[in-house]
């Protein structure tokens, strides 16, 4: 299954990507993709700088990707496809790919990198045991670019506050334009579980509610790897179960 | 003076834009520009929906803007230039312009809107009593597009946590590419005033520290206009004073 984590800036997309990846890695082969030019995902996964240097962003490997997209399907299993090890690394059981960033001020936008990622994703061949999670750029621009066209679901992260819900409304509208099969919501930093989606969306589409958590904040402040805090194990397992049911039945 | 408010998603760019605008409006004629396709600035300013409908985003007024850029300088004073009232509205003493959004999923990126805004900004003629504050899109992509080339200063908002500081580092690097004269920092949601910039930046470049504030959070949760909370009046006045000194002396 291919999932895109989207939402307003700062709602916790990277955090949710890591937590979901760790929860899903118990039963799936998980690949996460940093599709944000700000590239914070490796930091949250706790990948050391020297290890990170061993991979090159997709945007710097245009020739390889173009060749392989031309040949047909791509697999992320290094036993059957050598591309996996060329474009990604594995850290603590999770495979990481990086889309690429803005190299120079005035050097142009992230469209070329997004086009490459979209081509790569649309040629990925996944088994029932593969999950790819895309950590998207903040906001709505990637939807103008169709980067996530073809994912099984867009998971929109919201936090308490109208601004994140207004952005979520825009994301759902644009995702509908792209004919993305399903959009669900995750309410993050939510200590009051009453109506976290307000009157904006059907509560049926809410996958889970993640309360504010000090260990998650401390991981960012101290720059230490983000793990699932013990007190959130059950919440995340339930979220995964709900997601599996929704994806299988839609 | 022209200022661009930048930073990682969710650090408080829109919040700081509104607070700074209100603080500066005591002595200046202030125009704020929503340069984020997510367009949350009007909501934070408390502009009613029906009033908001009276203005059209710059991106939908290509012909007018192109014509006027071709004619030379643009002023934001409606007494000397009728363009001001065509492209903006005034609410509680603050003039608002909107760059524009992603109209359709798959409809393309925000480059055309950014190009138009950049042209508009570079032809703006300001007096000593005019301030333009740009509320930028989250992250670094606008720096690839040179949208804010020519501003007097980029104000980078950071929050506690490495991820926002890492993004700030990238923003400063790209701003240097664009030869932006000055970049300063504002530390937001910062209850511990010890070294909010860590070892990332010179503390001399820190304009101010804004503590976590319940009234600011409540304004977003309740969708009510964001005003300067009484307990932050002094902090914001000091920030404005420091900014004036830094801009005048650089």
How far apart CA B241 and CA B93 sit, in angstroms, is 20
Q: Which residue of A has its CA nearest to B147?
A: A106
> Residue A48, SS3?
coil
| Exposure string over B102-117, b if 16+ CB within 10 A, otherwise e | beebeeebbbebbebb
Q: Where residue B71 falls among pLDDT bands split at 50, 70, 90?
A: confident
Q: What is the mean pLDDT of residues B21-37?
A: 97
pLDDT of residue B250: 56
Cα B87 to Cα A93, A188, B95, B113: the distances in Å are 53, 37, 10, 14
| Exposure string over B195-231, b if 16+ CB within 10 A, otherwise e | ebbeebbeeeebbbbbeebeebeebbeeeebbebbee
0.90 surpassed by pTM: yes
How far apart CA A42 and CA A48 sit, in angstroms, is 8
Distance from CA of A52 to the nearest CA of B (A): 15
How far apart CA B247 and CA B250 sit, in angstroms, is 5
The set of residues, in sequence order, having a beta carbon less than 8 Å from that of A110 and lying 6+ positions away, is: A37, A99, A100, A101, A102, A137, B109, B141, B144
Q: Is the pLDDT of residue B106 over 70?
A: yes
Question: Hey, are the CB atoms on A105 and B141 less than 8 Å from each other?
Answer: no
Name the token pair of B189.
Answer: 């949601």
What are the tens digits of pLDDT across the range A211-229? 999 999 999 999 999 999 9
Question: Hey, are the CB atoms on B163 and A220 less than 8 Å from each other?
Answer: yes
Query: What's A137's DSSP letter?
Result: P
The set of residues, in sequence order, having a beta carbon less than 8 Å from that of A24 and lying 6+ positions away, is: A30, A131, A133, A240
Q: Which residues of A touch B194 (CB under 8 A)?
A: none
A114 touches A145 (CB < 8 A)? yes
B19 touches B30 (CB < 8 A)? no
Q: Which residues of A touch B147 (CB under 8 A)?
A: none
Q: Is the pLDDT of residue A16 over 70?
A: yes
Q: Is the pLDDT of residue A84 over 90?
A: no
- Of A181, A231, A238, nearest to A211 by C-alpha is A231
How far apart CA A131 and CA A112 sit, in angstroms, is 25
State the Cα torsion B60-A149-A124-A85 to the nearest 10°: 50
Q: Is the pLDDT of residue A41 over 90?
A: yes
Q: Which residues of A touch B146 (CB under 8 A)?
A: 105-106
Q: Where residue A235 falls among pLDDT bands split at 50, 70, 90?
A: very high
Distance from CA of A177 to the nearest CA of B (A): 5
pLDDT of residue B10: 97
pLDDT of residue A250: 56
Q: Which of A110, A111, A174 sits opposite B102 (nearest CB)?
A: A174
Q: HEC profile for chain B?
A: CEEEEECCCCCCHHHHHHHHHHHHCCCCEEEEEEECCCCCHHHHHCCCHHHHCCCCCHHHCHHHHHHHHHHCCECCCCCCCCHHHHHCEEECCEEEEECCCCCCCCCCCCHHHHHHHHHHHHCECCCCCEEEEEEECCCCHHHHCCCCCCCCEEEEEECCCHHHHHHHHHHHHHHHHCCCCCEEEEECCCCCCCCCCCCCCCHHHEEEECCCCHHHHHHHHHCCCCCCCHHHHHHHHHHHHHHHHHHHCC
What are the tens digits of pLDDT across the range A136-146? 999 999 999 99
Residue A173, Cβ density class (10 Å: 0-12 exposed, 13-18 middle, ≥19 buried): middle
Query: What's A79's DSSP letter?
Result: T
Q: Which residues of B touch A43 (CB under 8 A)?
A: 162-163, 166
What are the tens digits of pLDDT across the range B109-162? 999 999 999 999 999 999 999 999 999 999 999 999 999 998 999 999 999 999
What are the tens digits of pLDDT across the range A90-135? 999 999 999 999 999 999 999 999 999 999 999 999 999 999 999 9
Q: Which of B9, B149, B223 sits opposite A162 (nearest CB)?
A: B223
How far apart CA B35 and CA B113 sit, in angstroms, is 9
Q: What is the mean pLDDT of residues B6-24?
A: 98
């Amino acid at each position: 299954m291919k999932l895109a984590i989207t939402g307003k800036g700062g709602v916790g997309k990277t955090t949710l990507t890591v937590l979901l990846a760790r929860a899903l890695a118990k039963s799936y082969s998980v690949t996460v993709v940093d599709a944000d030019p700000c590239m914070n995902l490796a930091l949250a996964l706790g990948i050391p700088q020297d290890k990170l240097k061993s991979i090159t962003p997709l945007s710097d490997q245009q020739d390889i990707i173009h060749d392989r997209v031309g040949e047909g399907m791509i697999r992320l299993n290094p036993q059957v496809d050598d591309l996996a090890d060329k474009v990604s690394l594995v850290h603590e059981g999770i495979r990481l790919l990086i889309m690429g960033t803005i190299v120079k001020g005035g050097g142009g936008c992230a469209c070329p990198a997004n086009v490459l990622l979209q081509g790569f994703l649309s040629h990925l061949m996944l088994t029932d045991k593969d999950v790819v999670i895309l950590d998207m750029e903040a906001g709505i621009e990637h939807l103008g670019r169709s980067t996530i066209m073809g994912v099984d679901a867009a998971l929109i992260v919201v936090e308490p506050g109208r601004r994140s819900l207004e952005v979520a409304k825009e994301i759902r509208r644009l995702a509908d334009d792209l004919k993305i099969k399903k959009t669900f919501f995750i309410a993050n930093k939510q200590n009051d579980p009453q109506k976290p989606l307000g009157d904006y969306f059907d509560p049926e589409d809410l996958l889970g509610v993640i309360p504010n958590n000090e260990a998650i904040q401390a991981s960012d402040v101290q720059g230490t790897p983000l793990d699932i805090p013990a007190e959130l194990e059950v919440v995340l397992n339930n979220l995964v179960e709900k997601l599996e049911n929704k994806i299988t039945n839609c």
